[in-house]
Amino acid sequence: MTHGGTAGFLVGSLLLVGSSLSAQVPQWAVKRAYPNYPPDKYLLGVGHGSDSKQDETAKRMAQLDIAAQLRARVQTEVNNIRQLYKLDPRGETYVELKIRSTSIVDEDFAGGEVIATAVDTPAMMTYALAALDKEKFSASIGEKLFLGWQQAAELSRLAQELLQRGKLNEALQNLTNARGTIRTLLSEQALYNAVAAAPFSGDSSVRPSALTSSIKAALSRVRIEKKSGDDQYGKIGESFPAPFVVRVVIADGKKNIPASGVGVAFLGSSGVPLGEAVTDRAGVASFALHARRSIGSHMTARLSSQVLGNDFVPEIKASSATFDCTILDADVAFALKIESQTPAVNEALRSAVADAITHAGYHIVDMSRFVLKVGYQSVPARPSEENGGAAFSVLADITITLIDNKSQQALGSMLIKSKGAADTNGSAQERSIRRLTIDEDSLLSFLEKAKN
């Protein structure tokens, strides 16, 4: 506080002591004005308290009044930022900005120095006035904004260098990190603009729309080329004769730069994920696959979107390669033998296992050389803590054993765990089966043991 401000505070305090004797509300509480604290440089908050700790309450309420004013100003600045950066109201950036801005001024905000108090003795009321130095407050935020935008700009610059070296994953990661940094800072920028003399202006090259454009531009340069594996026939229960091979490059004028270390996702006709492969130094990725019904008539290879999320799906789909393939029926079929003493559990197990096998492309028949013996065991039912002890919780082990009737030998088995909770023990067991998840890749590898 300046010397003049101190003098003003002392004079004001003496005047307020006198005014409190006449049970009057202090003028600064009514007008929100105080000598040497002009509104263009300070945000003033007024509070009052009438409880047993009225002095502390009044001071706290004055600070909360400043916090309330800041929140209102921040929401105005959120709208200004949306217009300035042309943010899509339904886009993730704007949604994140709105969410972050609601808590940017914490409920426990204690900003602002108490500069005056007054006591209304007859009314047993204490008034307090707090002042927030706008320049000082915004300066600390401004430094964080400057460093954050500077970091984003450096990440963007490095991304362009990485693209020239074929480091596509790293380049996209840098651009995504830069975008995430700016998105995080936008709420801080709204708070800064709420009190600063002039709004913050960041590097135009790393504004949200610019970074989005940079990511789209990088993706538009990606080419995925089929090298081998097209037009294959695959029999269910067996691997395709050859792997599916692609080459990923980054177009750079008349030359193509191999993209190394890039994840390539392989998807079936309906979009079901089949697996991923990673490119080598030459940009080549090879993917071996078991034939299964869910693949359909073709398979698509495209960039893995784990780094980018769902924001750039159209651009990712644009850089893809499609393999034609034909799925042939398996040479074997399976009979099911369910080993359970409870009819309801028996039927639920039969349905769950049969669905998984037919989804993979195999047939279920009444009689076959190969039998899948399905066993069910569960630990003793116990009250479920999650439901206040009113329901039963079951942990179940489902064992599937492959039997060759011709040799009378077990060719292998797989164990699947599941759990369920319900109002009765039997219902909990049935629910544990309905929640059963059988991994298709594991199931195919297991059934592949059956050979005619």
Q: What element of type H or E holds 209?
A: helix 208-220
Contacts of 173 (CB under 8 A, 6+ apart): 307
Q: How much is the average pLDDT of 204-225?
A: 94
Q: Which of 9-18, 51-60, 272-281 has the lowest mean pLDDT?
A: 9-18
Last residue of a domain, one of 220, 247, 263: 220
What span, in angstroms and rounded, lies between the C-alpha atoms of 269 and 291?
Answer: 13
Q: Which of 94-98, 230-234, 432-436 has the lowest mean pLDDT?
A: 432-436
What span, in angstroms and rounded, lies between the C-alpha atoms of 105 and 74?
Answer: 9
Residues 92 and 234 in one domain: no
Contact criterion met (CB below 8 Å) for 222 and 168? yes
* Burial zone of 437 (CB within 10 Å; 0-12 exposed, 13-18 middle, 19+ buried): exposed
Residues 316 and 173 in one domain: no
Residues 164 and 48 in one domain: yes
What span, in angstroms and rounded, lies between the C-alpha atoms of 396 and 338?
Answer: 15
pLDDT attached to residue 142: 95
Asked if the structure places residue 452 within a domain, the reply is: no
Q: What is the pLDDT of residues 249-305, one digit of tens each?
A: 999 988 999 999 999 999 999 898 999 999 999 999 999 998 988 899 999 999 987
Residues 275 and 393 in one domain: no
Asked if the structure places residue 4 within a domain, the reply is: yes
Beta bridge partners, 118, equal 127
Residues 367 and 271 in one domain: no
Residues 123 and 61 in one domain: yes
- Measure the CA dihedral 400/406/408/410, to 10°: -30
In eight-state DSSP terms, residue 47 is: E
* Parent domain of 45: 1-220
Residues 136 and 50 in one domain: yes
What's the CATH code of the domain at 306? 2.60.40.1930
Residues 280 and 170 in one domain: no
Which of 21-35, 116-130, 133-147, 305-319 has the highest average model confidence (pLDDT)? 133-147
What's the CATH code of the domain at 377? 3.40.50.10610
Nearest of 403, 396, 404 to residue 436 by alpha carbon: 396
Q: What pLDDT band is residue 19 in, cutting at 50, 70 and 90? A: very low
Count of structural domains within the chain: 3
Beta bridge partners, 263, equal 278
Last residue of a domain, one of 328, 344, 360: 328
Mean pLDDT of the chain: 88
Residues 208 and 64 in one domain: yes
Q: Where are the beta strands (DSSP E) in 13-73?
A: 42-49
